[in-house]
Amino acid sequence: MQIPLLRRRRPFPVLTFAALLLASPVLMPTASAQSAVAAVNPLLSASPLPLAYPPFDKIKDEHYAPAYEQGMAENLTEVATIATNSAPTSFDNTIVALERSGLLLARVARIFTNINGCNTNPTLQAVEKAMAPKLAAHRDAILLNPQLFARVRSLYDARATLGLDAESARLLAETYKSFVRAGAQLSEADKTKLRALNAGIATAETAFSQNVLKERTASAVYITGRAELAGFSDPEMTAAAAEAKTNGHEGQFAIALVNTTGQPPLTTLTNRATRERIMQASLARGLRGGEFDNRASVATLARRRAERALLLGYPTHADYVLAEQTAKNVTAATALLAKLAPPAVANARQEAADIQKIIDVEFAGKPGRFEIAAWDWDFYLEKVRVARYNFDESQVKPYFELNHVLVDGAFFAATKLFGITFKERHDLPVYRPEVRVFEVLDTNGATLALFLFDAYARPSKNGGAWMNEYESQSTLLGTQPVVGNHLNIPQPPAGEPTLLTFDEVTTLFHEFGHALHGMFSAVKYPRFAGTNVPSDFVEFPSQVNEMWAVWPEVLKNYAKHYKTGAPLPAELLTKVLNARKFNQGYVTAEYLAAALLDLTWHGLKPSEVPAADGVLTFEAAALAKVGLDFAPVPPRYRSTYFSHVFSGGYSAGYYSYIWSEVLDATTVEWFKKNGGLTRANGDRFRATLLSRGGSAEALGLFRDFTGGEPDIIPLLVRRGLNAPASATP
């Protein structure tokens, strides 16, 4: 069965086990009613477009709720048929039948989740809010069905005698495990408790997510005078004025907030008071009281998740989550973070000292000297970068025009490495005019996948960047991938080029790595398709793909001045590459602070979870305990807007980015030692890892490709954490 979820952060895979894991029982419409609805609701039938690409031009907001209801009803009917089948229980009539079930519900959930994440509106948010508890109850109705579980268990107990191939044997084991971890072995009284907890968690996650999005829009900082925005370019001024006008503040300038604590304008704004206003507005999200306050949601989610974990036999929610990850246990995950925290903080303090020297020189003999604060870091970081490396971001942005980065960078690297090619399609409908669609052709010229590219930020879009799937690959179902990448690049005024920072270039390559993972899937069962792998493994292939952004052959092909076509000068490239380790103390410390907050919240027992008014005190104590309470470097996300873990599927899993980077850094070294950007290396990576999805044990796939074990040293060297940061010369 496929397991579409309402929401999952980066990437946005179609979790499978068919539509099983979704909403509550509903009445099945009559046949005549179904026919009437189907005639006007395109979600109720498979799309006639290539690869079942969604008919965005025909789908309307009002189609989702009835399609969800019908999908849930059909799913329950299918499952009841499987559970009550009078024929002897077999792998085909139970496990494979589950994989084939829930296809309507899966389709509806994929499309709704993706559109709600990238182009939401009040109607869709109302659907999300209404469906969340229903979908949780529906999931329970299937996974807590004793008759169905008895069939699954009987097969699992007899697994050694079934003669299954490796992927089928893994499917049986994972299906059984899913039922057990969902509470199938609980008493009826405990199942009732579990159902209530699941519904409450789903409701609280939805409330948290919607509060974050709504407050991010409502928290835009409005500036009345141009002088307060000194440092902005003319296009940035124009965009800020247009944003303010759109929001009903004509004549002012709006600084829209992004999801992270740090905000892009802090890099260039020279007015310190303006920088402070922006940072304070960012840090205060979810804390102001009123309708968007998320403290109660944080406390509720931490407590209910802890209660559920105890009910299911785990000490904490973190223990429950980590049991399914490659880390296997909380001790291993926290040990890695603990190993990285001291050098990261030491480097961050040295970086702060370097910045303070710049400030002291600037204010020597003048009034107004200050100690570095969080809102000063990015601005003075650029000054240190200039002093140390003699360049700043504004010098390189003209060489990173969006289309060149995508087509001549990410696509070019994929063609060199894997032999695939890309053809833009203008005949397929899109949900926004700026979305682009590409057909991906395999080495034999056959269609491999369809790829949607949605680059620009907008108020209706979740923050951050992610990959999702509108259709996943499965030889059982005869389906091929339709995948999308979503970024949050500020859209320039009409007629202006979209110029990227180097971080945005890296993010584009990263997300395209997720897309490749989905495109290359070659598994039988939808449960294992593409990025359906452990959370602390899913980032690994995408992080590997970042290496090609600076690979000389690739960089030479895309890093060209948007006006003149001149290549990025060699000396400027050298400065970019030399500066990559700079500021890694800050970058690592802000990430580790968020990751340790996540594990600390989810390592609590129910009685240890603070009330809503204790959330900030708890957060401060958690950071102090691990030495990450360094005010100039706040966590990348504070608890009240930490969407990854409180509404996005990464609870007790945010550590996975750095865990995966250990695998990534080791793999990059393998590529470098074996010839780099070659078809032989790409074919090996595709065959042994990218195509396998979740059909085999994750670390086993890593070993199959690299021939060895993960090594932390390449990561420490990459981040410059194997030695303290040097002082400014």
Q: What architecture (CATH level 2) is domain 18-185?
A: Orthogonal Bundle (1.10)
pLDDT tens-place string over residues 662-699:
999 999 999 999 999 999 999 999 999 999 999 999 99
Q: Which of 52-56, 201-205, 249-253, 709-713 has the lowest mean pLDDT?
A: 709-713
- Over residues 505-520, the mean pLDDT reads 97
Q: What is the DSSP letter of 390?
A: S
Give the three-class secondary structure for 109: helix
- To the query of whether residue 511 is one of the catalytic residues in this protein, the response is yes
What pLDDT score does 724 carry? Answer: 45
CA-nearest of 103, 90, 243 to 168 is 90
Report how far residue 650's alpha carbon sits from residue 15's, in angstroms, rounded to the nearest whole number: 13
pLDDT at site 39: 60
Q: What span, in angstroms and rounded, lies between the C-alpha atoms of 8 and 466?
A: 9
Mean pLDDT for the chain overall: 91
Does residue 170 register a pLDDT over 50? Answer: yes
Query: pLDDT tens, 555-567?
Result: 999 999 999 999 9
What residue ranges in 285-435 does DSSP mark as E strands?
421-425
Q: Which fold has domain 398-581?
A: Neurolysin; domain 3 (1.10.1370)
Q: What are phi and psi of 473, to 5 degrees?
A: -85, 145
pLDDT band at 9; cut points 50, 70, 90: very low
| pTM assigned to the model | 0.87
pLDDT at 552: 92
Handedness of CA 66, 67, 68, 74 (dihedral sign): positive
Cα–Cα dist 112/108, whole Å: 6
Stretch(es) of the chain classified as CATH 1.10.1370.40? 18-185, 398-581
Give the model confidence (pLDDT) of 404-446 as tens digits: 999 999 999 999 999 999 999 999 999 999 999 999 999 999 9
- At residue 371 the predicted structure's pLDDT band, cuts being 50, 70 and 90, is very high
Across 291-295, average pLDDT: 93
Model pLDDT for residues 447-494, shown as the tens digit of each residue: 999 999 999 999 899 888 999 999 999 999 999 999 999 999 999 988
Q: What DSSP assignment string belongs to 617-680?
A: HHHHHHHHHTT---TTS--SS-GGG-HHHHTSS-TTTTTHHHHHHHHHHHHHHHHHHTTSS-HH
* Nearest of 390, 417, 379 to residue 569 by alpha carbon: 390
- Of 74, 439, 504, 511, the catalytic one is 511
Check whether 26 has a pLDDT greater than 70.
Answer: no
Structure tokens at 550: 């600076």
**Any idea which residue has 């968007």 for tokens?**
292
> What is the C-alpha separation between 107 and 116, in angstroms, rounded?
14
> What is the mean pLDDT of the segment spanning 313-338?
93
Q: How far is CA 350 from the centre of its chain?
A: 31
Question: Residue 413: which H helix or E strand, with range?
Answer: helix 412-418
Q: What is the pLDDT of residue 578?
A: 79
- 717 or 242: which leads in pLDDT: 242
Q: At what angle do helices 103-118 and 64-83 cross, to 10 degrees?
A: 150
Structure tokens that stand for 597 in this block: 């907050």
Q: Which residue has the tokens 């060149």?
A: 404
CA pseudo-torsion sign 611, 617, 623, 626: negative
pLDDT digits (tens, 9 = 90+) for 123-162: 999 999 999 999 999 999 999 999 999 999 999 999 999 9
Neighbour count for residue 547 (Cβ, 10 Å): 21
Q: What digits encode the pLDDT tens for the residues 61-105? A: 999 999 999 999 999 999 999 999 999 999 999 999 999 999 999
Residues written for the chain:
729
Q: Residue range 574-583: average pLDDT?
A: 80
| Extended strands (E) in 472-603 | 482-489
